[in-house]
Amino acid sequence: MFTFLCHVSPIAVPELPEVERAAGLLRTALVGRTIASVSTLHRSAARYLPASVADTLASCVVTRVERRAKYQLLHLDDGRVIEVHFKMTGDWAIGPASLPAPALERVRLVTTDGTRVSLVDGRAFAVMRVHAANASFLPPLGPEPLDAAWSGDLLRAALSRKRGPIKPALLDQRVVAGLGNIYAAEALWEAAIHPNARANRLSLARVTRLAAAARLVLERAPNARYYGHRSADDGHAYAIGDGADEQWCVYDREGEACRRCDGRIRRVEQAGRSTYYCGRCQRA
């Protein structure tokens, strides 16, 4: 049974936990199934997936779905890989093809058993494209922060050449893969580190605490974001909620009281992104 949820709000930007959830839904819906058709429904999506390429996907079987950083990779039985990146507001809408099409549908994939997987995206920035077998197409990526081998030592080594503030450094996917703006801010709060602290000057003890904090906020993400909560029901399953019930310690809480020390949450711009932090308990 599929349970719906409406389109993504601008606040609910997909990051590592959301993309992992989306990949999990794809595994359930597509692995072992044969593609009947793929249709590109928006000119922005057609830049990456033209009809001439989409048509070649018919009769292919999806053998595996994996996530790397914020990328979803659909492996096909002919060796090709479908790459998907949600960007800011992408999501899947999954349900039987007999349902009315979901709003904001950009790409439609239908299997031979009647399942429809739609790439929905309010801003139409999401990317879906096909790569040849054995092609190398992902950009340079750092370690996954939820891997057991990731540690403070590895993070400190990656930060050793970063002379700027720690917050933008954490968003460099070569430093750590999949960590985004929201979870980076939350991790810095957990570790009591100011977002303007110089990345390459943090002690090993503080970086080790930061690595543990990043893992913590990513692991508890389902409780913070309330996956699946949406305000309407159209019969589809979606990966990402509407953001209405998100519970953050600092993100999007400018002017509110810190949950740890009762200081005030502040907001600054860093590298074109909003950064939220507590001016009292997060130290440089």
**Mind telling me the catalytic residues?**
14-15, 70, 273
Dihedral through CA 130, CA 135, CA 139, CA 141, nearest 10? 110
Are 5 and 228 a contacting pair, CB within 8 Å? Answer: yes
Strand 35-40 to 81-85 pairing: unpaired
Closest to 142 (Cα-Cα) out of 172, 167, 168: 172
How big is the chain, counted in residues? Answer: 284
Closest to 168 (Cα-Cα) out of 179, 160, 152: 179
Residue with token string 């440089």: 284
Here the tokens at position 16 are: 């590592």
Chain centroid, CA 94 distance in Å: 18
Packed helices 204-219 and 152-159: angle between N→C axes, nearest 10 degrees: 110
Cα distances (Å, whole numbers) of residue 28 to 24, 33, 60, 72, 174: 7, 10, 17, 14, 30
Per the DSSP assignment, residues forming a β-bridge with 90 are 121
